Amino acid sequence: MNKNKGILIALGIILAGKLFSQDFEVAPVMLDFNAEPATSQTKTITVKNHSSKRVSYTVTFADFIPKSTGERNLLPPNSTKRSCANWVNVNPAFFELNPGEDIQLQVTMLVPGEEFGSAWCMLFIQPTREQTSWSADKQLAAGITVSGRIGVLVYQSPKSNQNYSIKVSNFQEITKPSDSNRRFSAVIENLGDKITRCKVFLLASNMITAEEKQFKATEYVVFPKLSRTVEMELPNDLPTGKYALAIIVDYGPKFPLEGSQLVIDVKNDMPVTQPDSIKQETP
């Protein structure tokens, strides 16, 4: 179960853009709209029933506030400034599937005329089961309650909105004695107004030989006017020496790389960070 991404509230796994629970499957798990103000745009979600019974499903919404750790705090729909929950229509919003049957839901984003910024929400697909009237969930229709749900992230930002701006700061080592690899953290700030996907990687440059080694990138999503704390591991395969270690953020071919760096010593017996480490922004 992938709790850290805050998408699945049920037993399941994410595989190739799909999300599987014990009994049903939803794909894709993210919808990225770029409709202009006063226009609409439609995308589809496929739901498949993997159970041996006929099952009813319903669609609900929630807002969320992204945290710097990557977690999401769920809130009632249309309760936050950046919510787009009231702009989304799903057809059908209530449906039934036989065993092995699937359905395509039409998800339409209708953007108000004055909304030029980015917005987001969560869309949940929920299997339902009949209940007696005395045990029914009062928040749902009488006699029905949810038994688990799969969430789909919904993003909206007009294509004409090109306000991208990323800054990297607070690059530091956070290695603990119990860690097998050296660990570093940094803060990525989104100063613009676009939901931005960032590929983040470490680059080690030997200050004597000028030899460089780039390590595997990890992708993070950073929301407008918010920050994301990222943690990266440095594998213990660098030769002994003094290195300029940079954390690099790539957020698209149209934009310069952003980053920060510090100086570290690598020793086979005891790797340590230089007390007089430098920190500077990558040009």
Q: Tens of pLDDT along the chain (283 residues)? A: 333 333 333 334 444 455 555 589 999 999 999 999 999 999 999 999 999 999 999 999 999 999 999 999 999 999 999 999 999 999 999 999 999 999 999 999 999 999 999 999 999 999 986 544 433 344 433 344 445 889 999 999 999 999 999 999 999 999 999 999 999 999 999 999 999 999 999 999 999 999 999 999 999 999 999 999 999 999 988 999 999 999 999 999 999 999 999 999 998 654 444 433 333 444 3
Work out the burial of residue 194: count CB atoms within 10 Å of its CB; fewer than 13 is exposed, 13-18 middle, 19 or more buried.
buried
Q: Note the pLDDT of residue 234.
A: 95
- Omega before 224 within 30 of 0, i.e. cis: no
Beta carbons of 124 and 60 less than 8 angstroms apart: yes
Q: Note the pLDDT of residue 37.
A: 97
Q: Note the pLDDT of residue 78.
A: 96
Angle CA 108–105–14, to nearest 5: 105
Going across the sheet that includes 12-15, the strands are 12-15, 18-21, 24-27, 40-49, 102-110, 88-91
Domain ranges of the chain: 8-156, 166-278
Q: Note the pLDDT of residue 109.
A: 98
Q: Note the pLDDT of residue 269.
A: 55
Cα separation, 7 vs 72, whole angstroms: 9
CATH superfamily of 166-278: Intracellular proteinase inhibitor BsuPI (2.60.40.2360)
- Looking at the domain covering 8-156, what would its CATH class be? mainly beta
Q: Note the pLDDT of residue 103.
A: 97
The one-character DSSP state at 192 is S
Do 8-156 and 166-278 fold alike per CATH? Answer: yes
